[in-house]
C-alpha cells in the first residue's frame, strides 16, 4: 500500500531537500517583493521630506541678536516699538485667531515680529501650522498677515476696528 510518512521511506531525503529548497526560493521571492515595496515607500517619504526641508531652508530668516534682547514677551502690543535694525519679539496674541500655542509654533518657525508675519502668505502660515501639528489645520490664517501689517505699522485703532468685524480671525 501507499505509505504517507516520508520518513519511513529510505529514499525520502531528496524530497526533504527539495521541499526546503522550494520554501527558501519562495521565501526569497516574497521577501524581495515586499522589501521592494517598502523601499519604494521610504524613498517617496524621503523625497517629500527633502522638499519640505528645502522649502524651510528657503524661508529661513536670519536674525541679528542684540545684547539687550530678552526672551520675555510684553503684555501689550502697543509697548513694542519696532526698529529697522533689531527684531523684537511681538505678542502675536493681539492678532485675532492666534493664541499662546500658535504663537509658540510661529516663533519656533523663526517668525518673531509682526513685520515678519505680515510678509508670509496664508498658505505659508498654514504649512507651518500643519507641519507643527496636524490639529492646527482647522485654523484659517487668511487675515493674519494683514492684521500683522496693521500691528507692525502701529495702526492699533484700525486693527481693533477690523477685529471687531472678525470671528476667530475669519471674515464673516
User: Mean pLDDT in each 10-residue stretch from start to end of the chain (172 residues)?
Assistant: 63 79 95 88 88 78 45 39 51 89 91 92 91 86 91 90 74 57
Q: How far apart are CA 118 and CA 120, in angstroms?
A: 6
- Map grid coordinates 521511506 to a residue: 9
Angle in degrees, 0-180, between the axes of helices 156-165 and 144-152, rounded to the nearest 10: 160
- Do 95 and 82 meet the contact criterion of CB atoms below 8 Å apart? no
Put simply, whether the predicted model's pTM sits higher than 0.95 gets the answer no
pLDDT the model gives residue 30: 92
**Grid coordinates of 31:** 521577501
The H helix count followed by the E strand count for the chain is 6, 2
Distance in angstroms (rounded) separating the CA atoms of residues 13 and 19? 10
pLDDT of amino acid 14 = 76
Residue 144 is placed in which grid cell?
493674519
- pLDDT, position 70: 42
Determine the pLDDT at residue 65. 43
Amino acid at each position: 500500500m501507499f505509505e504517507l510518512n516520508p520518513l519511513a521511506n529510505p529514499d525520502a531525503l531528496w524530497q526533504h531537500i527539495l521541499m526546503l529548497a522550494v520554501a527558501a526560493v519562495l521565501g526569497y521571492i516574497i521577501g524581495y517583493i515586499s522589501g521592494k515595496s517598502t523601499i519604494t515607500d521610504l524613498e517617496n517619504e524621503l523625497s517629500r521630506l527633502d522638499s519640505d526641508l528645502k522649502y524651510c531652508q528657503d524661508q529661513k530668516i536670519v536674525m541679528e541678536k542684540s545684547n539687550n534682547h530678552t526672551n520675555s514677551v510684553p503684555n501689550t502690543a502697543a509697548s513694542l516699538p519696532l526698529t529697522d535694525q533689531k527684531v523684537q519679539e511681538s505678542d502675536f496674541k493681539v492678532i485675532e485667531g492666534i493664541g499662546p500655542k500658535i504663537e509658540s509654533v510661529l516663533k519656533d518657525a523663526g517668525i518673531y515680529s509682526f513685520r515678519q508675519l505680515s510678509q508670509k502668505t496664508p498658505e505659508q502660515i498654514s504649512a507651518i501650522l500643519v507641519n507643527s501639528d496636524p490639529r492646527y489645520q482647522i485654523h484659517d490664517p487668511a487675515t493674519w498677515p494683514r492684521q500683522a501689517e496693521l500691528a507692525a505699522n502701529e495702526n492699533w485703532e484700525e486693527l481693533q476696528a477690523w477685529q471687531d468685524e472678525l470671528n476667530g480671525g475669519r471674515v464673516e
